[in-house]
A and B are shown apart, each in its own frame.
Chain A
Amino acid sequence: MEKDRIKQAYLDYVLRKGAPPVSVFKLTKKLGLPEQEFYRYYASFEVLDRELWADFGREAYDTASKEPVWAEYGTREKLLSFYYVLLEVLKRNRSFALQALRRSLPRMPGLTPRVLDGLRQEFEQFAAKILQEGRQSGEVASRPLLENSYPRFFWQQLLFLLNFFAHDESVNFERTDAAVEKAVTLSFDLVGRNTLDSATDLVRFLIQSRR
C-alpha cells in the first residue's frame, strides 16, 4: 500500500539521517511518487510522526498480548509487559524515538507533546480496559470519584518513563527497566486497596453514625 510505503520511507529517512526530510517533495521524489500522493494520506510530517507513535503503541500491545502467559497476567503484569515491549519497539527505532522525545519532551513536564497524541489515545484505551479487569479481580480498588482519571494518571507515568528513557545512559537502557519496575509497583500500591480506602471508609462511617 502506498500509505505504508510512505510511512516506512519516512521512518527510514529519519533513522538514517537523524532528521526529517527538508520537504515532502524530497521524500516523494525518492519514492518516485508525485507529491500530492503524500497529501492524500497526510497533511504534514507532524501528522505522520503522530501516526508512527500510535503505531508503536499498537504494535507493543499486539506483541505483548500474544505472549502465552498474557491471559494469566494480572493488571500490573499486563501494564509492565506493555511497557517493556513498547521500550523494545522504541529501541528498534531509537534514533527516531530519542530524537522526537528529546526535541519535544523537556519543555513542560506533565504536558503531552502533540507528537504523542496518537499514542496517548491508544494507551488510555488500553489502560482503561486493563483497569476495568483489575477492578473485577479486586487488584484495583473501586473508587467511583477517582477511577475515571486513572487512565490519565497512568499516561503521566508513561510520559515519565519515556522521559527517563530519553535520558538514560546505561548499557542497553537497563536503568529504564528498573525505573519501569519501580514506577509500576508504586502506582499499583496507590490504585490498589490501601490506607486511603480504609480512611474514607472510616470517615463515611462516622458521618453516617452521627445521624
Chain B
Amino acid sequence: MPDSPKTIPLDSLPTTKVARAARFAKTGFHVGANYVKHYAKRAVGAESPTSELHEANAAELYGALSEMKGSVLKVAQMLAMEKNILPTAYADQFAQAQYQTPPLSGPLVVKAFRDAFGKSPFDVFDTFDLNARQAASIGQVHFARKGGQELAVKVQYPGVADSIRSDIRLVKPIALRVLGLDEATVRPYLQEVETRLLEETDYGLELRRGQQIAAACAGLAHLQFPSYYPELSGSRILTMDWLPGQHLKEFLATNPSQAVRNQLGQALWDFYMFQFNTLRQVHADPHPGNFLLRAEAGGTVGVLDFGCVKEIPAEVHRLFTALLAPETLADPARLTALLTEAGVVRPQDPETQRNFYVATMQASLELVGRPFRQASFDFGDPTYLQSLYALGDDLLQQPELRQQREPRGSEHFIYLNRTYVGLYALLTELQAFVRTA
C-alpha cells in the first residue's frame, strides 16, 4: 500500500436523495448536450470524431459519479473493468474512480469505533493513525498496531448500505442512456449488481469469506492472505493484517524482472482457476487496487478485499466450461445449443439473426478462450491485447448489436465476465507468461 495518504479533495457530497437526483439530472442534461453538440457539428460538416464525444461524456459522467461515492463509485469501478464493452475514453475516466475518494474526518472515525466497541480507536489499538492511508470505495483504510502486529483497519462510510438501492435507481436511467440499453431487459442484471453491492457493505460477511477463502487457498504457492480479527471488527469496521507490497502500477515502475512477473502472473492464474473450478466461488473484484505485489520469494501476491465474491451455480459452471472448450469452437451446432441454453440465442430468433450471434460469439470465444486451449500462454504478447480491444470496438460498431438494445445471456455472466476481464487485464499489464493448462 502506498505510504503517503492519497487525499485528493473532491467537492462536497450531496447526501439526500433529492440532492443526488439533482446531480444526476444535471449529468443527464450534459450528456444530452454533448450529443447535441456532436450532431450539430456533424450537420454543418465539421469533423467531430466519436471518440471526442465519448471523452466529453465520460468526463461529465465521472464528475457526477465521483461526487456520489459509495455504491455509485462501485458501479464506476465495475464499468472501468469492462474495458471491452466501454469505449476507452469512458474506461479511462472511470479507472480514476478506483483511487480517489474524499476521506472521513477523524472524529467520525472515532465515532464509528465508539458505535462498534464503546471506546475510541486509541483504546482499541496500541497506535492508530487517524489519517487514512488509502481510500476504499465504500470506506477507507487506516494503519494501526496492536501487540506488535501491523494492522489494516477498514472503516465504512456511514449510511452506505442505506443508500445503495436509491443510488441504483438513480444510475439506471443514465447508464441505460449512455450504454444505449432498454430498461426492462436489464432488470435481472441490475438486480444481480445490486445484490453484490449490498453484500459488499456487509463487513461481517466479508470477514467470514476472507477467512474461508484464505483457508481453502492455503495450499497455493506465492499467495498471501491477511488474517482477519473478528474481535476487532464490527458491521462497519474490519480489521486485518497489514500486508506489505505495492499496487500494480507502482510495482511495475520498479522494473521487476520477467521471472518475477511470470511468477506473479502464475500465482494469480492458479488462484483464479482454483476458485473457479474447485471452490466454485470467485473473488470477483480483480481490480489492481485489491492486489499487493512484491518481488520477495520470487514474486508474491497479497490478496485483499473479499467484499465481492461471486458464487457460481453448478449449471453456470458447466455452461461456462463447455463454452470455453476447444471442441465447442469447432462445432457450430454444439455452440448454438450451448448459446441457446445460456440465453444468448433464443429459439424464436430469425435464422439470420441467430447465425449472426453464433458467428459473433464464436469469434469472441476463439479470442477470449485462447489461453485455455494452450498449455501455456504469453499475456505479454501485445497483439493479443490489441485484438481483444479491437474485438470490443468491433462489437460496438456492429449495427446488428447496436440496434439490438437488449443484453442477452445469463445474469451470472456479469461478474464472471468481469472477473475474467479483470484477470486478463492484470496479466497483460504484468506481461506474464503463464502455464495455463
Which residues in B have their C-beta under 8 angstroms from that of A195? none
Q: Which residue of B lies closest to A81 (CB)?
A: B107
Which residues in A have their C-beta under 8 angstroms from that of B111? 84, 88, 177
Which residues in A have their C-beta under 8 angstroms from that of B157? 178
Listed residue (B107, B108, B114, B122) with the most chain A CB atoms within 10 angstroms of its CB = B107
CB of A170 closer than 8 Å to a CB of B: yes
Indicate if the CB atoms of A88 and B12 lie closer than 8 Å: no
Which residues in A have their C-beta under 8 angstroms from that of B381? none
The smallest beta-carbon distance between B403 and chain A, in angstroms, is 43
Indicate if the CB atoms of A171 and B105 lie closer than 8 Å: no
Indicate if the CB atoms of A177 and B110 lie closer than 8 Å: no
A186 and B12 CA atoms in complex are apart in Å by 8
Which residues in A have their C-beta under 8 angstroms from that of B218? none
Indicate if the CB atoms of B107 and A73 lie closer than 8 Å: yes
CB of A182 closer than 8 Å to a CB of B: yes
Tell me the residues in window 61-117 of chain A with beta carbons closer than 8 Å to chain B beta carbons.
67-69, 73, 76-77, 80-81, 83-84, 88
Indicate if the CB atoms of A69 and B162 lie closer than 8 Å: no
The verdict on A174 contacting B162 (CB below 8 Å), with A67-B120, A185-B12 known, is: yes
The verdict on A80 contacting B15 (CB below 8 Å), with A69-B130, A174-B158, A175-B159 known, is: no
Contact with A along B374-392 (1 / 0, CB 8 A): 0000000000000000000
Which residues in B have their C-beta under 8 angstroms from that of A184? 105
Q: Which of A68, A175, A186 contacts B122 (CB 8 A)?
A: A68
CB of A172 closer than 8 Å to a CB of B: yes
Indicate if the CB atoms of A69 and B15 lie closer than 8 Å: no
Which residues in B have their C-beta under 8 angstroms from that of A88? 111, 114
Q: Which residue of A lies closest to B121 (CB)?
A: A69
Q: Which residue of A lies closest to B122 (CB)?
A: A68
A84 and B110 CA atoms in complex are apart in Å by 9
CB of B115 closer than 8 Å to a CB of A: yes
Indicate if the CB atoms of B108 and A182 lie closer than 8 Å: no
The verdict on A170 contacting B162 (CB below 8 Å), with A67-B120, A182-B13 known, is: yes
The smallest beta-carbon distance between A60 and chain B, in angstroms, is 12
Cβ-Cβ contact count across A and B, 8 Å cutoff: 63
Listed residue (B106, B114, B130, B158) with the most chain A CB atoms within 10 angstroms of its CB = B158
CB of B396 closer than 8 Å to a CB of A: no
Q: Which of A67, A174, A186 contacts B159 (CB 8 A)?
A: A174
Listed residue (A73, A77, A177, A182) with the most chain B CB atoms within 10 angstroms of its CB = A177
CB of A33 closer than 8 Å to a CB of B: no
CB of B324 closer than 8 Å to a CB of A: no
Indicate if the CB atoms of B104 and A181 lie closer than 8 Å: yes
Which residues in B have their C-beta under 8 angstroms from that of A178? 13, 15, 157-159
The verdict on A175 contacting B162 (CB below 8 Å), with A67-B120, A69-B122 known, is: yes
The range of chain B's interface size is 10 to 19
Indicate if the CB atoms of A77 and B15 lie closer than 8 Å: no
Which residues in B have their C-beta under 8 angstroms from that of A180? 108
The verdict on A73 contacting B159 (CB below 8 Å), with A177-B111, A182-B13, A182-B15 known, is: no
The verdict on A170 contacting B159 (CB below 8 Å), with A69-B130, A81-B110, A186-B12 known, is: yes
A76 and B13 CA atoms in complex are apart in Å by 17
Tell me the residues in window 1-19 of chain B with beta carbons closer than 8 Å to chain A beta carbons.
12-13, 15
Which residues in B have their C-beta under 8 angstroms from that of A67? 110, 120, 122
CB of A31 closer than 8 Å to a CB of B: no
Tell me the residues in window 150-174 of chain A with beta carbons closer than 8 Å to chain B beta carbons.
170-172, 174
Indicate if the CB atoms of A182 and B12 lie closer than 8 Å: yes
Q: Which residue of B lies closest to A80 (CB)?
A: B107
The smallest beta-carbon distance between B99 and chain A, in angstroms, is 21
A177 and B108 CA atoms in complex are apart in Å by 8
CB of A202 closer than 8 Å to a CB of B: no
Which residues in B have their C-beta under 8 angstroms from that of A19? none
Which residues in B have their C-beta under 8 angstroms from that of A73? 106-107
Contact with A along B113-141 (1 / 0, CB 8 A): 01100001010000000100000000000
Q: What are 26 inter-chain pairs, A to B, with CB distance below 8 A?
A: A67-B110, A67-B120, A69-B106, A69-B110, A69-B120, A69-B122, A69-B130, A73-B106, A80-B105, A81-B106, A81-B110, A83-B107, A88-B114, A171-B162, A174-B158, A177-B111, A177-B158, A178-B13, A178-B15, A178-B157, A178-B159, A179-B15, A181-B105, A182-B13, A184-B105, A186-B12
Lowest 6 A-B CB distances belong to which pairs?
A174-B159, A81-B107, A80-B107, A174-B158, A177-B158, A84-B111
